[in-house]
Structure 1
Amino acid sequence: MNGLNFPLQIVNGNLSVVTDGNLYKAHILSFLQTELRERVMRPQYGLKDYLFETISDITLIAANIKTGLQQYVPEIQLEVTGNINDQGEAEISIYWLFEDEEQPTIRLTL
């Protein structure tokens, strides 16, 4: 399966195309970097902006991210965990498998 790389890149005058695990990594990054309701035709696609939110239970945020990713990228297996670091930032780790092969962990700071 082929698809466009995320973020979009131009290589030799054409948009960069990726396959297999890199394609699904691009899908995950696209979901994480899109704000909820940013896409008019997909209002539930993307991640809620937690910047000015009080986070009392990071597991709820991790569960919301996992649910969204499972809905929009069902071809992969994933686990999402989160913790609050010493600076008070929410750190999210996404562990995922593509075709039963472990892929590099994706980390996100909210």
Structure 2
Amino acid sequence: MNTDFLGKGFAFPLQTNQRGGINVSKQEQKIRESILIILGTQYNERVMRPDFGCNLKSLVFAPNNAATANLARHYVEEGLTKWEPRIALDEVIVENDNSEERLIIQVYYRIKSTNEPGNLVYPFYLER
């Protein structure tokens, strides 16, 4: 099955390969990297696209409680729904990992064109 339509481009983070060229990622890996870029980009970080990303970093000084976890879930769902059209979100779970400084964000999704399931775990650190 040809899955070139899922995307191909420079790998994230940008790295060189053994031959001195730039690493390339494609298909499911490229979608995963795009999700990481969206989650790691705060609003107004992109000059020509100030609403790109999700508002997750606005919670960096918030207390580690249920309200913060629910807001983080909302921001992740909002950002991925808006900026990653190749996926359908199945579920976003945000949990406290029994520390004062970290939320564990679990993203479960399906690739729309292939119905292939995917998941990603994103640790989000809170400043204390």
Band the TM-score falls in, shorter-chain normalisation: 0.7 to 0.9
Aligned partner of residue 107 in structure 1, secondary structure: strand
Cα RMSD after superposing both structures: 1.8
For 2:13, the aligned partner's letter is P
Matched, 1:81 2:93: yes
Aligned to 1:53: 62
Q: TM-score, normalised by structure 1?
A: 0.85
53-62 or 69-78, which deviates more: 53-62
Q: In 2, distance between residues paired with 1:10 and 1:34?
A: 23
Deviating beyond 3 angstroms after TM superposition, the runs of 4 or more aligned structure 1 residues are none
User: For the pair shown, which has the larger CA radius of gyration, 1 or 2?
Assistant: 2
Q: In 2, distance between residues paired with 1:97 and 1:84?
A: 25
Q: How far 1:56 sits from its partner (Å)?
A: 4.3
| Percentage of identical aligned residues | 27
2:108 pairs with one of 77, 85, 95: 95
Matched, 1:69 2:80: yes
Q: How far 1:108 sits from its partner (Å)?
A: 2.2
Q: In 1, distance between residues paired with 2:119 and 2:93?
A: 15
1:27 pairs with one of 34, 47, 58: 34
Q: In 1, distance between residues paired with 2:42 and 2:66?
A: 21
Q: How far 1:104 sits from its partner (Å)?
A: 3.9
The alignment covers a number of residue pairs equal to 110
Q: How far 1:42 sits from its partner (Å)?
A: 1.4
Q: TM-score, normalised by structure 2?
A: 0.74
Q: In 2, distance between residues paired with 1:9 and 1:96?
A: 27
Q: In 1, distance between residues paired with 2:81 and 2:54?
A: 13
Give the gaps of 5 or more residues in structure 2.
Answer: 1-6
